[in-house]
């Protein structure tokens, strides 16, 4: 199934509070969905309490989001379409775009993490403002009670790698600031990435990046069970 068809299916199933899935919205997703990174950036502004987000590409393609506290609404506008939704509906929409469109990087990829976007429990122990991690696992299933979410990646601190007694870094898509080096790809890698995405979509699992603050605080304290098969 093509990404847009998958997205349409997920939108129809989604439990939106006051959001109408229209043909205009589908056209909007067709135009902007592949730019999942900018929606993730907008979401980060949203959760940090920002009032607006604006993106403009070198081709003059624009996306603007206005986050209102009262009334409870988000206004999203593109080049030729705009819509208004609740804050909860915006969160659901971005989580679905992330699920369908955000790339799944190969094992061995080295990424720089945005320290400001890491959970507070991790930030307290960091003394390096440029934190790089090599990804060693992808799309991990979580322990009981959190099965509706999925952990995008785990990794090891670069260039230190595996060290006895060291903990893995748990990495969501939204923590990745930039890809420094992309791991090896071949046909087997492409097949594996397709399988992982299809499994996540089939189980309707959102990234841990879209946990509520209460869920995230509990999850990052108690850990997870690794179940990638």
pTM: 0.86
**pLDDT score at 117:** 65
Q: What is the mean pLDDT of each run of 10 residues along the chain (229 residues)?
A: 91 85 86 87 90 84 86 85 88 94 96 77 58 95 90 92 80 93 97 97 94 79 48
The 8 Å CB, 24+ separation contacts for 153-162 are 153/105, 154/226, 155/111, 157/131, 157/132, 157/133, 158/110, 158/132, 158/133, 158/134, 159/132, 161/134
Which residue blocks in 139-184 are alpha helix, DSSP H?
none
My answer on whether 93 and 120 are in the same domain is no
My answer on whether 126 and 196 are in the same domain is yes
Cα 185-188-192 angle, rounded to 5 deg: 95
Q: Rounded distance, CA 194 to CA 6, Å?
A: 13
**pLDDT score at 163:** 80
My answer on whether 7 and 79 are in the same domain is yes
What is the span of the domain harbouring residue 33? 3-101
My answer on whether 97 and 171 are in the same domain is no
| Structural tokens at position 157 | 């601190």
**pLDDT score at 227:** 41
**pLDDT score at 224:** 42
My answer on whether 201 and 171 are in the same domain is yes
Q: Rounded distance, CA 147 to CA 227, Å?
A: 11
**pLDDT score at 189:** 97
My answer on whether 67 and 134 are in the same domain is no
Among 10, 181, 222, which residue's Cα sits nearest to residue 95?
A: 10
Please give the span between the terminal C-alpha atoms of the chain, in angstroms, as a whole number.
23
**pLDDT score at 159:** 87
Domain boundary, last residue among 101, 120, 149: 101
My answer on whether 85 and 140 are in the same domain is no
Number of domains in the chain: 2
My answer on whether 154 and 217 are in the same domain is yes
My answer on whether 28 and 124 are in the same domain is no
Q: Rounded distance, CA 49 to CA 219, Å?
A: 22
My answer on whether 26 and 52 are in the same domain is yes
């Amino acid at each position: 199934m093509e990404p847009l068809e998958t997205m349409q299916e997920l939108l129809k199933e989604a439990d939106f509070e006051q959001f109408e899935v229209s043909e205009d919205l589908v056209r909007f997703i067709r135009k902007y969905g592949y730019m999942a990174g900018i929606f993730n950036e907008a979401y980060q502004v949203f959760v940090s309490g920002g009032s607006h987000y604006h993106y403009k590409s070198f081709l003059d393609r624009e996306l603007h989001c206005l986050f209102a506290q009262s009334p409870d609404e988000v206004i999203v506008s593109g080049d030729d379409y705009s819509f208004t939704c609740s804050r909860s509906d915006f969160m659901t929409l971005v989580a679905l775009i992330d699920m369908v469109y955000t790339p799944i990087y190969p094992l061995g990829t080295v990424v720089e993490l945005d320290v400001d976007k890491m959970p507070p429990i991790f930030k307290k122990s960091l003394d390096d403002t440029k934190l790089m991690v090599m990804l060693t696992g992808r799309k991990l299933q979580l322990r009981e009670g959190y099965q509706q979410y999925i952990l995008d990646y785990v990794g090891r601190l670069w260039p230190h790698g595996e060290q006895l007694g060291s903990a893995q870094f748990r990495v969501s898509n939204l923590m990745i600031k930039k890809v420094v080096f992309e791991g090896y790809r071949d046909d087997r890698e492409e097949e594996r990435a397709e399988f992982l995405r299809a499994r996540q979509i089939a189980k309707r699992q959102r990234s841990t990046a879209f946990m509520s603050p209460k869920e995230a605080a509990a999850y990052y304290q108690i850990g997870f069970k690794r179940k990638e098969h």
